Amino acid sequence: GQSLEQPSEVTAVEGAIVQINCTYQTSGFYGLSWYQQHDGGAPTFLSYNALDGLEETGRFSSFLSRSDSYGYLLLQELQMKDSASYFCAVGGGGGNKLTFGTGTQLKVEL
């Protein structure tokens, strides 16, 4: 089976940098994804790591260490609109199913 662990809540101030960690246990692993979900909205894709290392997309970066079964999402120059829930997910590759973590609620304060 699959299990993923994330902190339930993180609070940071506007303009700061925050890191959301994710550890996973899987029976088969192809990649780690990150999704953002605002209250009342749908999850939207942020990033994907299949190989070890850092992937950067604007203010967001995602890191993966396959040997440690660990990844993180790094958000820089935080803005109020970044307040949302962030989910890590592991998948079977391509169109295969994703298993989502329990989500981390990020609160950005002034």
Partner 1 sequence: DAGVIQSPRHEVTEMGQEVTLRCKPISGHDYLFWYRQTMMRGLELLIYFNNNVPIDDSGMPEDRFSAKMPNASFSTLKIQPSEPRDSAVYFCASSPGLTRDEQFFGPGTRLTVL
Give the binding site for partner 1 (CB under 8 A). Answer: 30-31, 33, 41-45, 48, 50, 87, 89, 91, 93-103
User: For residues 73 and 89, which CB has a smaller minimum distance to partner 1 in the complex?
Assistant: 89
Q: How far is the CB of 28 from partner 1 (least distance, A)?
A: 13
Q: How far is the CB of 42 from partner 1 (least distance, A)?
A: 4
Q: How far is the CB of 90 from partner 1 (least distance, A)?
A: 8
94, amino acid identity: G
81 phi, psi to nearest 5 deg: -70, -10
- The H or E element containing residue 13 is strand 9-13
Q: How far is CA 19 from CA 11, 65, 74, 105, in A?
A: 11, 15, 5, 12
